[in-house]
């Protein structure tokens, strides 16, 4: 089980789609809602998630230790 999971601060997301492009197993852009969602927190490896975090233009993806 993953020790940490990515979370998206939806209010800060500009729906650019970069996270989904980089790590589609984990992130999915919800165009009708206007932000991206974590569809499968443990679906990708950490390097992929980290790359998405590093490339998010508003830096609204964070690691969380909390399993929701």
Q: Give the binding site for ligand SF4 (CB under 6 A).
A: 8, 13-19, 27, 29, 36, 56-58, 60-61
3-state secondary structure the chain: CCCCEEEECHHHCCCCCHHHHHCCCCEEEECCCCEEEECCCCCCCHHHHHHHHHHCCCCCEEEECCCC
- Name the minimum Å distance from CB 33 to ligand SF4: 11
- Name the minimum Å distance from CB 66 to ligand SF4: 18
Residue closer to ligand SF4, measured from CB, 1 or 57: 57
């Amino acid at each position: 089980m993953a020790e940490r999971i990515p979370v998206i601060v939806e209010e800060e997301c500009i729906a650019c789609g970069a996270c989904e492009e980089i790590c589609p197993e984990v992130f999915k852009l919800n165009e009708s809602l206007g932000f991206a969602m974590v569809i499968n927190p443990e679906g990708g490896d950490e390097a992929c998630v980290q790359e998405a975090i590093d490339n998010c233009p508003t830096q609204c993806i964070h690691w969380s230790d909390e399993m929701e």
